[in-house]
Amino acid sequence: MIEATGITKAFNGVQVLRGVSLTLRKGEVVAVIGPSGSGKSTFLRCLNHLEIIDGGSIVVEGEALATAQAEGPSRYASDADVRRICRKMGMVFQSFNLFPHMTVLENVIEAPITVKRLPRATAIAKADALLDKVGLLAKRDNYPGRLSGGQKQRVAIARALAMEPDIMLFDEPTSALDPELTVEVLRTMRQLAEEHMTMLVVTHEMGFAREVAHRVIFMDDGRVVESADSARFFSAPQHERTRTFLGQML
């Protein structure tokens, strides 16, 4: 579970997040949608410390990552606690971010061995099971350069899952993919949702938001404009800006 409250963030004096709050409950799939530049990716990156927030609080699985202060910037937990708390969240990026000089298998076992100190044989057995789950066991000894974008992204998902996160954060996981490759990644994500993985997904895929997400959050200009369960969000958007956005996207 993640509880983010009143997150603010500026880059070089430009306010990008203007007080964003979100509760992501256990087993819930929440899609974050909105126009380009509205702050969706920045918000997601703030949740796992890829960006430092200016103000607001972030609590992950009951532990405070950052705490709002009466004055001045939010106070973060100690470096060791930040690292430990952030390991509860797996992250999948638009650009895959696989290590190009490592095989698929090596990509998946690297963090479990170096960070979790898993014995190599245990890490390999686990990686094989995950690669099988995402349909890529046959590619385990290939280098990422030999894979399609969709395959790379499924390896990236397996790699994140190998750390046994409680929560998965997806930052536009299909935006760099051709439509036919998007389908296979969305299938893997749908499967994860069916297994009750807690997921926060920044996406332009309205089909995913409608069919897989339990709740949809619409961001515009650094704010959450609308948050509703998926069916209600798409059948009866409450706000003019949401309606305009959906009109453009659907």
CB of 51 to ligand ATP, least distance (A): 7
CB of 38 to ligand ATP, least distance (A): 4
> Considering beta carbons, is residue 66 or 130 the nearer one to ligand ATP?
66
Could you say which residues in the range 144-183 bind ligand ATP, by CB under 6 A?
172
* Contact assessment for residue 80 and residue 32, using Cβ atoms and an 8 Å cutoff: no
C-alpha dihedral sign at 238, 239, 240, 244:
negative
> Considering beta carbons, is residue 20 or 156 the nearer one to ligand ATP?
20
Cβ neighbours of residue 47 under 8 Å, at least 6 residues apart?
Answer: 2, 4, 58, 60, 89, 169, 200
> Considering beta carbons, is residue 67 or 94 the nearer one to ligand ATP?
94
> Considering beta carbons, is residue 158 or 202 the nearer one to ligand ATP?
202
Tell me whether residue 1 is exposed, middle or buried, using C-beta atoms within 10 angstroms of its C-beta: 0 to 12, 13 to 18, 19 or more: middle
In angstroms, what CA-CA distances link 205 with 34, 52, 124, 171, 211?
11, 27, 33, 12, 10
Nearest C-alpha neighbor of 205 from the set 189, 224, 225:
189
> Considering beta carbons, is residue 2 or 217 the nearer one to ligand ATP?
217
* Contact assessment for residue 6 and residue 68, using Cβ atoms and an 8 Å cutoff: yes
In angstroms, what CA-CA distances link 48 with 150, 160, 209?
24, 13, 22
- Among 2, 29, 30, 40, interactor with ligand ATP by CB under 6 A: 40
CB of 250 to ligand ATP, least distance (A): 17
Backbone angles phi, psi at 212, to 5 degrees: -105, -40
Selected range binding ligand ATP among 19-27, 39-47, 73-81, 99-107, rule: CB under 6 A: 39-47
Selected range binding ligand ATP among 32-40, 98-106, 129-137, 154-162, rule: CB under 6 A: 32-40
Nearest C-alpha neighbor of 20 from the set 63, 51, 50, 57:
57
42 binds ligand ATP (CB under 6 A): yes
CB of 201 to ligand ATP, least distance (A): 12
Interface with ligand ATP: number of residues (CB under 6 A): 11
34 binds ligand ATP (CB under 6 A): yes
99 binds ligand ATP (CB under 6 A): no
Tokens representing 224 are 């959450």
- Among 4, 16, 162, 167, interactor with ligand ATP by CB under 6 A: 16
What is the binding site for ligand ATP (CB under 6 A)?
11, 16, 34, 36-42, 172
